[in-house]
Structure 1
Amino acid sequence: MHQTPSNHSEKRDFIRMRIDAQVSLLHAGQVIAAVCVDLSSSGMQIKAPQRYQVGDQIEVSIDSDHPALKGLHASTEVVWIADQPGGQQKFGLRILAMH
């Protein structure tokens, strides 16, 4: 079996699930409410009123309303940023570790 080296285009090989879920972002001691637009096994897209920079490390928590399911808690890193109208920002997070 032949394997090709990893490259940037492979990021789209992961299944992305659109969820539009409320999340809490913890960065530099500040907690910000935001929205997770979509989620994959390797990362997520977030829309937030707070501005971040590529390379920022952010703790993300998504609570579960279902008593049988635990929420998602992850350490992440900002990998891309897109400014939005009204001072908001969309950005991509790479999941570094799940807790």
Structure 2
Amino acid sequence: MSQKDRDYSEKRDFIRMPVECTVQLLDGERQIQGKCLDLSSTGMQVVAATSLNAGDRLRVLIASQHPTLKGLDAETEVIRVATLEDGQQSLGLAILAMT
């Protein structure tokens, strides 16, 4: 079952932690800087100046601020896109794999 086919209530079964940090989105060779607003064990919400669509796959990198902790490196799928007033996109990303 794809992320898009999951029941709405199932998507909310995981605690979301509010986070405000810089993320790097890798869309093939294109690198896009964005801001992560919240994070859960299965996904995240990111705001960035992009032109992505539901179903697009991205690699997301969040650098660690602690030298002994590894940063986040995740393969994701765009499951929700909303265009904001400033032209940026709010992206709902499902985490497919952590590397």
Shift of 1:28: 2.5
Question: Size of the alignment, in residue pairs?
Answer: 94
Deviations 1:19-75 (A, max 9, x none): 111000000310000001100000000000112100000000000010111100000
Match of 2:83 in 1: 83
Match of 1:98 in 2: 98
**TM-score, length-scaled by structure 1:** 0.91
Bigger drift between 6-15 and 54-63 goes to 6-15
Q: Cα RMSD (Å) of the superposition?
A: 1.0
Q: Any stretches of 5+ residues in structure 1 without a counterpart?
A: 1-5
| One-letter amino acid of the structure 2 residue matched with residue 27 of structure 1 | D
The structure with the larger Rg is 1
Bigger drift between 86-95 and 7-16 goes to 7-16
Shift of 1:97: 0.3
| One-letter amino acid of the structure 2 residue matched with residue 67 of structure 1 | P
Percent of aligned positions that are identical:
50
Structure 1 residue ranges (4+ consecutive) displaced by more than 4 angstroms after TM superposition: none
| One-letter amino acid of the structure 2 residue matched with residue 48 of structure 1 | A
